[in-house]
Amino acid sequence: MENKTQNYHEILAIVKLLQAITFLVLLAVVVIGITLVEVYTGVFSRVFKSSQIIATNNNSQPLLKEKPDYWTAPDTATIPNTPEGELIRYGRNLIAHTAEYLGQNGSVMQISNGMNCQNCHLEAGTKPYGNNYGSVASTYPKFRARSGTNETIVKRVNDCFERSLNGKALDSNSREMKAIVAYIKWLGKDVPKEQTVKGSGIVDLPFLDRAASPEKGKLVYEQKCAVCHKKDGSGEPKPNSKEWLYPPLWGEKSYNHGAGMYRISRLAGYVKYNMPLGVKYPNSQLTDEEAWDVAAYINSMPRPAKDLSKDWPDITKKPLDHPFGPFADGFDEKQHKFGPFAPIKAKREAMEKSKQSIKIAQK
């Protein structure tokens, strides 16, 4: 009898011990789980932060969402119903559906290659880090070293017509140019003069410590891009339309080698936060390496040429990744095209410093 009760107590003790161990293990699993989710996604601290914002906001309206700390476009519903508003709306249409109006079979003029401005300036030039126009109205006219002149918005728009759309310049007095400029100015109307707002343009990705690799980029391209842009980069026309369903990335219908996208830093930064289609900053489907490599691959393929002999009158001002010589820094065209860029940057900084110390010595 006594033996039995003792056994019973022992079993009870073991069961309690097991319960305690199970509880501790479960607790550990939960804690580790939460930590891992936080480390990989940061979701809890974000929720915590936004609940703090709700708590500390004195305004009667609680802020349900953190306002993004980057530029967002004004609401198109606020475009006035005036002749000026008409012009702004027409400008937006020209950006979004350039091919319909100004492409090879355009209804107004035939001066460009069938792409839309919007193919590269996503969501009519409003998408965060989608090569948007957020800082154009505030920073133009400005000196640009490519032309060596003070450039107006008109000149900058025509640069894209002549290079990105491999076409002809629009007359600055045309209704079309006036509309495009009116729209771009309207988009940037709330940005203070001289300011470049966060989220505008294209992200500058950190440099790789090696040259970007077209061979590695080909693999990325075939896995993540070819479904839409096609294996041969020729894209796919939209049925019953003058526009592209998937615009071409190389070949005769694509941007020419004087275009901004022909610099791999521009193409890589664009791709990182916008492609495959649907990707949005701050999320991305490519690592920085994949973005640089796929850009190296795309810009190794054939495309229309442009006479660039008038560009960069001061060759010391060429961007690190401008791929055509002559250069003042002693690096060759290949390294300027694919990198590694850090050594070029360091050399240029050293040259700049010695130029300054010579100036001081001469004083």
281 part of the interface to ligand HEC, by CB under 6 A: no
How far apart are CB 344 and ligand HEC at their closest, in Å?
18
Stretch that binds ligand HEC, among 14-22, 64-72, 77-85, 127-135 (CB under 6 A): 127-135
CB-count burial class (<10 Å; 0-12, 13-18, 19+) for 43: exposed
Tokens encoding 265: 């830093």
Q: Among 118, 138, 256, 299, which residue interacts with ligand HEC (rule: CB under 6 A)?
A: 118
Stretch 28-57 residues interacting with ligand HEC (CB under 6 A): none
Q: Among 126, 138, 164, 299, which residue interacts with ligand HEC (rule: CB under 6 A)?
A: 164
How far apart are CB 25 and ligand HEC at their closest, in Å?
43
How far apart are CB 309 and ligand HEC at their closest, in Å?
21
CB-count burial class (<10 Å; 0-12, 13-18, 19+) for 289: middle
Q: Which helix (H) or strand (E) holds 46?
A: helix 43-56
Stretch that binds ligand HEC, among 34-42, 50-58, 252-260, 339-347 (CB under 6 A): 252-260
Distance CA 307, CA 257 (A): 9
Q: Which helix (H) or strand (E) holds 354?
A: helix 342-362
CA-only gyration radius of the chain, Å = 28
The binding track of 295-334 with respect to ligand HEC, each residue x by CB under 6 A or -, is: ----------------------------------------
Stretch 69-98 residues interacting with ligand HEC (CB under 6 A): 95, 98
Tokens encoding 16: 């309690």
Tokens encoding 163: 């290079």
DSSP, residue by residue, 199-214: T-B---PPPPSS---H
Distance CA 40, CA 319 (A): 36
157 part of the interface to ligand HEC, by CB under 6 A: yes
Distance CA 9, CA 13 (A): 6
224 part of the interface to ligand HEC, by CB under 6 A: yes
Q: Among 191, 261, 296, 320, which residue interacts with ligand HEC (rule: CB under 6 A)?
A: 261
How far apart are CB 101 and ligand HEC at their closest, in Å?
10
Q: Among 260, 312, 321, 335, which residue interacts with ligand HEC (rule: CB under 6 A)?
A: 260
Residue type, 198: K
Tokens encoding 193: 């003069």
Task: Catalog residues that contact ligand HEC under the rule CB under 6 A.
Answer: 95, 98, 115-122, 131, 133, 135-136, 156-157, 160-161, 164-165, 180, 201-202, 224-225, 227-229, 246-249, 255, 259-261, 266-267, 270-271, 275-277, 286, 294
